[in-house]
Amino acid sequence: MKKVLLFGDSGIDDSLAIIYGLLHPEIEIVGIVTSYGNVTKEQTTRNALYLLQLAGRTDIPVISGASLPFLNGFTAYYPEIHGAEGLGPIQPPESVASIPIHNFSLILSIVEKYKEELTIVDVGRSTSLAIALNLWKETMQSVKEIYIMSGVFLQPGNVSSIAEANAYGDPVSTRFVINQSKNLTIIPLNVTNSAVLLPTEAEYIAEHTTTPFKSLIKPIYDYYFSAYKKLNPSIKGAPLHDVVAMSAIVNPDSLQYMY
């Protein structure tokens, strides 16, 4: 069983990664750190709370992370890809406001509790993870492994000709995390671009799932695929970037690694 502390900016593919982690029998999410990125930190926090509410797992703590990057205090959001709230056409209900949000210091408590049993997965901008590594370097380096969905190699990026969104969103923090982490695995865009979910597959999942996420899957996928279709009319499906990072921790043989 992989005990996972997940860092993310809960847009659509991040949310699908959360759903994947909640449903996978070999993954136990022990905390979710929400930050700015695809949408604002406040919106990503509501989205994470909503997913946990649907799953009946509000016992999993949601931790308030970074609001802005270190580089210049400015960030771009991507509602055209993820929707105004980060879940396509879905707006989390007001009832999520009653679920507690935890202080950043809970990260230290979680790492101290699990140490070498803990896997950290970061599928958003690396600001919050960089802060944690800076504050508690020795303790943070005691975790078993860190996976980040970040960067791109040998292909164009998705926010510029050379840059991937997570690394581009806070390159200072990305560099810090890479330099300060032990047992780090980078899952880059050139890999995740190949993890495409076809519309027929998404429809099949939505029709046949008996999970609490049944009503969510098709509308958020359709929005996400439509956004990618506008960017690339020839695309056959939507890439599930962040799901790849979550999947890699329990399916290591599904990828080839370079060291």
At residue 24 the predicted structure's pLDDT band, cuts being 50, 70 and 90, is very high
At residue 63 the predicted structure's pLDDT band, cuts being 50, 70 and 90, is very high
Percent of the chain with pLDDT over 70: 100
Taking residues 15-30, what's their average pLDDT? 98
Q: How far apart are CA 133 and CA 140, in angstroms?
A: 6
Q: Which amino acid is residue 253, in one-letter code? A: D
Angle CA(136)–CA(142)–CA(147) in degrees, nearest 5? 95
| The predicted structure's pLDDT at residue 76 | 87
| The predicted structure's pLDDT at residue 72 | 73
Which helix (H) or strand (E) segment holds residue 57: the answer is none
At residue 71 the predicted structure's pLDDT band, cuts being 50, 70 and 90, is confident
**Whose CA is closest to 188, among 161, 220, 160, 156?**
156
118-122 and 62-64: which strand pairing? Answer: unpaired
| The predicted structure's pLDDT at residue 132 | 99
Taking residues 82-103, what's their average pLDDT? 96
**Whose CA is closest to 152, among 105, 103, 191?**
191
- At 153-204, the pLDDT tens digits run 999 999 899 999 999 999 999 999 999 999 999 999 999 999 999 999 999 9
Q: Is 225 helix (H, G, I), strand (E, B) or coil?
A: helix
Taking residues 80-95, what's their average pLDDT? 95
Percent of the chain with pLDDT over 90: 94
Q: Does 256 or 150 have the greater pLDDT score?
A: 150
At residue 256 the predicted structure's pLDDT band, cuts being 50, 70 and 90, is confident
Taking residues 113-120, what's their average pLDDT? 98
Domains and CATH numbers, the chain: 2-250 (3.90.245.10)
For the chain, the average pLDDT equals: 96
pTM: 0.96
Residue 158: count other Cβ atoms within 10 Å of its Cβ.
20
Q: Find out whether 116 and 46 touch, Cβ atoms under 8 Å.
A: no
> Look-up: residue for tokens 């982690």?
21
| The predicted structure's pLDDT at residue 257 | 87
Residue 58 in this model has a pLDDT that exceeds 80: yes
**Among the listed ranges 8-22, 73-87, 96-110, 116-130, which one has the minimum average pLDDT value?**
73-87
